[in-house]
Each structure stands twice: as structure tokens, then as C-alpha cells.
Amino acid sequence: MTAVCPEVLRLRPGVFLAAGRSGQEYLLHQSNSQRLGTLTRTQRDALHQLAGSKCPAESLRAMARGADGDAGVAELGSLLDQLRAGGWLHITVIGEDGPAYTIQPHRRPAPLPAGDGQAGLALSRFAVMHRAGADLLIESPRSWCSIAVHDPGVMGALAAFTGRRAAAPAAGLGSLPAPLARRLLSDLTWATLVVQVPGEEDTAFKLRQWSPHELWFHMRSRAEGVPDGHFGRTQWAAGLFEPLPARRVSFPERSIELLRPDIDALRLHDATLTSVLENRRSIRRHDDEHPITLEQIGEFLYRAAGVRHTAAYDGIEIVTGPNPSGGALDALELMRSSSTSLCGWPNGWSPACIATTGSATNSSTSGSRPRRSAGSSTPRSRRPAGQT
């Protein structure tokens, strides 16, 4: 792709340069890697500059020309082509008034789409725009990148794609100059943020089957769909909020002691796991005259959501129990809500919920373990971003 507007380049965060025994050099990231081959001095110098700061593309070419003439410019071009194709560069496009927007890859870019010249263009129905600091961030679970918009003129131009518009790129994109308008449309289409209509989002089963929030969840729960800096232990709340306790504080109302089963006896006499799995059936016959007993619900909650141990890890309280949880964070709460009484409850109680902490309440909601806030850290390590 030929750039009409000036560009400022920088290596994306979290990328490392490594050299093999044979002299081959590699770019490494937690999500992928790429062999660059044997680099020349000009290429290595340019790579280190890109890792350390934002570099205008023209400045890099001037440096290469000053060091090795036309050969140095050719070597730099070869390197930049590899970095673009691999999705290793943050690319800031410069308009007349300064930085217009930045392309932020998080995986290898897609090929440039081939338009049919007949279809119109519109914002993808999966695209989401939200504030990120002082910028507007455009993202899509279908895209290989996000685009951070810096220029208010570009923000206004995006409104042109909320409905179907002609594919002619230059005219009618707000107040943007024609070169920036052409480049913006090309990049939005390349990033699958602007798509053809009608197109595969309207006709292909692989996309029609998804609603936007479903595809977002599907992609963000897979490693390939997680952008840089948003996976694992981010510690965004460190120093801002106190971490939540692993177990909810006891409720002030009257409590009811629940049954704690004899695990040693159950090990000897309980049904085997194979028997339980093979004999499982769904029986949908309810007997309101013989509801579940307090002893049964106590044993069920103890064995499904009881707390075995409590410990602290880097200042974060964690618990372990019979149910697995990534990082022992227990993102899901187990609650029981009922409008009917249970056999064995004391007179006057019509509980809506029972907690495995040994207390019960007649309020509408409660739980055995608290939901951990998004700011809680997981005990997994994460490679720091921004190192090269």
C-alpha cells in the first residue's frame, strides 16, 4: 500500500528482538513470532530506533540514506515491509493539523479487500467506538487491529459510514483533505471496520449467526482475539482500590448453621464417580409437599462451593474449594433464590438464599463467595509491555 500521508512508526508494545545461534534474528511476542533473517547494520539500527521511540518514516529513510545511500534505503524498505506484513508496527497517519489516527495491530494484518465497485460501504455492525484516554478507539472482533482516532475531523468523518454510502473514497468525508480521506477509507476497509453492504456480514452464515455481543465474547475469550495489554494480570487497580476479600463478610441477620458432611465417611460409602455420571437423569417431577431438606441443601452447597483453604498471594486473598476457578478468583457466584420454604427451616423464615459461609438472610440476594472485581489481580505472571 502506497502511503500518501506522512507516517510516524513505532514497534508495538511487548515485542522482543532475539538472535539465534546461526545469526538469524527474530521478533518475539506473547502471541506470535517472526523470523527476520540476518539483519544489516542499517536495519538493526532502525529496529532499535523503532523500539525506543516514535519515528517519522521520512527520518528513518534520511538516516538510512546518510549511512549507506540508496542501498541503505532499500534495506530499510525491506525491513519495514516485513514489519508491516507481520503486524509489528503502530502506524500513525499525519494530517494537515497533526496526528490523525493510529493503526494498532494485535495480530497479522489481513490482505487488502478487493472491492467490486458496485457495493456501498458502511460501518461494520460489529464495530464499537469508545473513549480511550483523549482518543476515540474503534475496535471490532473481526479486525486484526484497533484504530485510535486523534483528530476530531476524523471522528466527524466516521459519521458518514453509519449508513450505506457510495464507494467513492474522497468526496464527502466531513472536512478532511482528499489525501487523508482516501487514506482513512483505505485503512478502515483494510481493518474490516468499514465493510461492503450488502456483503458477507449480511449473507454469510458464519457471520449472520453472531449478534455483536456474542462475537465479541467469542473472540475475546480466545488468545488470538485479545489485543495487547488486556490479558492476564494487568493490575490496573493496584494503588487505586483495595482488593476484595475472598469470602463475603457475614451478614448481620440471624444465621443458620448448615450441615458439614463427614467427608471421610463419604469416601468409604459414597457412590463412585462413574456410577453418578452413568446414572444421571433429568427428572422433572416436582413434589411441593416434600421439598429439599436443610441437610440436603447444606451438603450440596458445602460440596459445590465450600471453602477449603484461604491464603494471600501478593496481597490478594484467594480461596480454594471443590469447584475449579482460574487463578482462584471465583468470578462466578453460586446463589439460590426461592419463593418457597425448605423443609427444616425454622419458623418465621422464608429465605431467598443460603450461603456456605454458615449464614442465611431473608434479603433477596446473597452468595457463598463474592464476585472479584475487575481490578483484582490473578496470581499469573505477565511479561511487561513496552520491552524490546
- Give pLDDT tens digits for 268-290: 999 999 999 999 999 888 888 88
Single-letter amino acid, residue 81: D
Q: What is the pLDDT of residues 282-314, one digit of tens each?
A: 988 888 888 888 888 888 888 888 888 888 887
CB 240 within 8 A of CB 374: no
DSSP assignment of 34-62 equals EEEESPPHHHHHHHHHHHHS-EEHHHHHH
Q: Domains of the chain by range and CATH?
A: 7-88 (3.90.930), 99-225 (3.90.930.70), 232-275+289-388 (no CATH)
How far apart CA 112 and CA 234 sit, in angstroms, is 33
Where does 240-326 have alpha helices with state H? 263-269, 273-279, 294-305
C-alpha cell belonging to residue 387: 520491552
The residue length of the chain stands at 388
How many C-alpha atoms does 139 have within 13 Å on its Cβ side?
20
Query: Burial level of 16, CB count in 10 A (0-12/13-18/19+)?
Result: middle
Q: What is the pLDDT of residues 195-213, one digit of tens each?
A: 988 889 989 999 999 999 9
Q: What is the pLDDT of residues 211-262, one digit of tens each?
A: 999 999 888 877 666 666 566 666 778 889 988 887 777 777 777 888 888 8
At residue 208, the pLDDT reads 92
- State the average pLDDT over residues 88-108: 93
How far apart CA 342 and CA 295 sit, in angstroms, is 10
Single-letter amino acid, residue 227: P
Tell me the whole-structure pTM to 2 decimals.
0.72
SS3 state at 76: helix
